[in-house]
A and B are shown apart, each in its own frame.
Chain A
Amino acid sequence: AQSVTQLDSQVPVFEEAPVELRCNYSSSVSVYLFWYVQYPNQGLQLLLKYLSGSTLVESINGFEAEFNKSQTSFHLRKPSVHISDTAEYFCAVSGTYQGAQKLVFGQGTRLTINP
Chain B
Amino acid sequence: GAGVSQSPSNKVTEKGKDVELRCDPISGHTALYWYRQSLGQGLEFLIYFQGNSAPDKSGLPSDRFSAERTGGSVSTLTIQRTQQEDSAVYLCASRPTGFYGYTFGSGTRLTVV
Contacts and interface: CB of A to CB of B under 8 A. Distances in A.
B107 interface: yes
Using C-beta atoms within 8 Å of the partner chain, give the interface range for chain A: 20 to 34
Interface of A: 32, 34, 36, 41-46, 49, 51, 90, 99-108
Nearest to B91: A43
A43 B100 contact: no
Contacts, number: 47
Main secondary structure of the interface of B (DSSP, over half): strand
A103 B100 CA distance: 10
A101 B31 contact: yes
Interface residues of B, number: 21
A51 B100 contact: yes
Given A100-B48, A100-B50, A100-B56, A43 B101 contact: no
Contacts of B65: none
B90 to A, nearest CB: 11
